[in-house]
Structure formats: structure tokens, C-alpha cells
Structure 1
């Protein structure tokens, strides 16, 4: 087949956004199709689950950032009134669903996480809600 009038192998990788024309010749008939390739910014090195169940079964017992290419700075967990429940001084940034050593009730809690993004060399903040299930 042809891509932008240049012969290609059966597999090709496009890495740049733009308008492309692909042409295929079948039994002396030429078929062409033009398409636009858009590249989305995937500069997201980190993600959090939206719930966890700290019941000591070894499955999903901690709430923590996942991914790579980031360096954690601070994790803060708040109750629905804005009271600070958890803020470790250093890594690991993993919350076990307790406050002052006591298990908290099932509910929605607010989190903010400040980290250094190694993909774009910037400090960033992500925030959201987490559901603690007992």
C-alpha cells in the first residue's frame, strides 16, 4: 500500500499528527482514503483508584498513587468538613483508612496529591474523592 504516495510495508507507525492519505491497489484498482491523525497529550504519569477496602484481607487495603515517572511530595486526606486526617511526612504515600490509629467509617473522603512529574519536569497537584468501604 501507499501512504502519502510512498510505498510502505504491511505495518506502519505514525507518530506525528497530520492529514494522511492511504492508498491500496487491488487487482489494478486503486482505492484511496484521507484521514486526520490527532495525537492526544498523555502526559499523565499517575493515577489513583476511586475506592479501597481496608479490611486486612490483603486485597485493596491501601489507598495510594500508582504509575511511574513521578516523585511524590505530599498526600493529604480530608473528611467532608475539611478536617485533615492523613498527611505522611515522607514516602510511602499509602493511606490505610485510619485516623490516629482508629479505623474510619465507610464514606467518601477528599484527597490531594502533590507530585513532581518527570515527563514534563513540573510539580503538579491532583485531587479527587475516594470511597472507603468497610
Structure 2
């Protein structure tokens, strides 16, 4: 059957005996069939008995040493964000001694234990980057992949005040939404009877406390609702009440 050899646990291997001449039969122990693949779970010695057509028998043994497969694994912090995006990685692999990183952005890192370097990479351009870690132990290897999302813009956010006072004193004159990473916005103001007081479709313009006909709205409680779209395409909507003070 040949020389002893090493294989990764969980691999399929084939043991084939020859040499007993035409018409020979070969019987292996441990449930192995000659020339048929099986899964190696643990190290073991395998013995085969060959019987020639003339009835003569011979035997041979081979030892297959099973090596545990590495388990490649890592975490990232963060796994998405706005460029330039600095990402720290933590290697959580087991049963490995050598590591090869491909960060997907042209950067790479290779090292062997006992070295344990700080692992990080910077993503300067927008995109989705596959980060691949390959863990080795001299015989066997395993890979783990995670995607890093480097975004041109962050998620949109809207901050809504709850009171304003359009009384020409130069302070807090407009009901205006504060926005981050918002590309488009529609704001609608309604009175207590559901009548539309204002429709605003600008990020830089707020409600001045007047009706659509230009009349001053009375002090009191009004209802607002908005729909917005961020630069990244994410949609936001919201509603609530505001107080107009005169």
C-alpha cells in the first residue's frame, strides 16, 4: 500500500493495495475497501491482506496520521462606515500556526506564531471589500471571508425641534429640520383640523409660521410629517407635533 503519510482529518483518502497478481483480492481492516475513498477521522494504522489467485496470502500495513484542520475565524471593528474607514481585525483562529491575510484593498499580511501583530487596514475608496484569512498548520488549511462596506456617505439622520417662535425677534424664527447625509426632503405642516399649512421641499428652508396664503398661523400645536432620502439611497420618514409660540 505504500509509505506512511499525513492527511487532514475530515479529508477523503483512498488506500489501494496491489502486488498479489491478476485476480487477487484485498481485504482491509477498519472497514476500508480497496481503492474506495473514505473519510479520515483519526490517526490509524490500516492492514490489508492480499490473496492471490493461487491462494497465497500476504499482508502489509500503512499508518495514516490525521492532522486537525485549522478553524479560520476573525472579527472586524467596524465592518462598515464612511471613508476613510479604518478597520481593526482580531484573529480568532484555532489549530493553526501560520496566517495569510488579504484585506481586499491591495493590502496583505503574513505572519507565523508566536508573532501576534496588531491587524488593521484602511479603506479609502467606496466599495465592498472581501477580507480573506487563510490559516495553516503545516499540513492543512482553512479560510474565512468577511465583507467590509466602505461608504461615501453615512446613514441619513434627521433631528426635529419641538417648538419655534416666529415673532421677528431674530431667534428661533423657523421650524426647520436638522439633517445629516440627506439628499432630498419633503416636509408637510398641518393644523389641528388636518389642513395643510405648508409644504417644504428644501433642506435649507423651514416653516415661517404662515399659511400657504401668507397669513400668520395662530399660536398652538401643529402636526408635521416628513419623507427624506439619504445620499446612500436610504429612505426616512417621520411625524409628530410641534408648538408654535407667539
Residues 31-77 of structure 1: CA deviation (Å, up to 9, x unaligned): xxxxxxxxxxxx56111110000011111000011032112331100
Contact 1:109–1:131 (CA<8 Å) still a contact in 2? yes
Task: Give the TM-score normalised by structure 2.
Answer: 0.35
**Equivalence for 1:121:** 233
Match of 1:68 in 2: 180
Work out whether residues 75 and 93 of structure 1, in 8 Å CA contact, stay in contact via their aligned partners in 2.
no
**1:93–1:72: structure 2 CA closer, same or farther, 3 Å change rule?**
farther
Deviating 4+ runs (over 4 angstroms): none
* Runs of 5+ unmatched residues, structure 2: 1-76, 79-154
Asked whether the equivalents of residues 156 and 234 of structure 2 are also in contact (C-alpha less than 8 Å), the reply is: no
Aligned to 2:224: 111
Q: After superposition, what is the alpha-carbon deviation per residue over 1:8-41, rounded to whole angstroms, capped at 9, x for unaligned? A: xxxxxxx56xxxxxxxxxxxxxxxxxxxxxxxxx
Aligned to 2:214: 101
Normalising by the residue count of structure 1, what TM-score does the alignment of the two structures yield? 0.62
Question: Could you say which structure has the greater relative contact order, defined with CA pairs below 8 angstroms and 6 or more residues apart?
Answer: 1
- Of the two, which has the highest radius of gyration? 2
Aligned CA RMSD, in angstroms, stands at 2.3
1:78 to 190, 193, 196: 190
Question: Partners of 2:234 and 2:172 in 1: how far apart?
Answer: 30
Tell me by how many angstroms 1:111 deviates. 0.4
Partner residue in 1 for 2:161: 49
User: Is contact 2:156–2:182 with CA below 8 Å preserved after alignment?
Assistant: no
Whole-angstrom distance in 1 between the partners of 2:236 and 2:205: 16
Aligned residues between the structures: 95
CA 1:131/1:48 → structure 2, altered by over 3 Å: closer, same or farther?
same
Measure how far apart 1:117 and its partner are.
Answer: 2.6
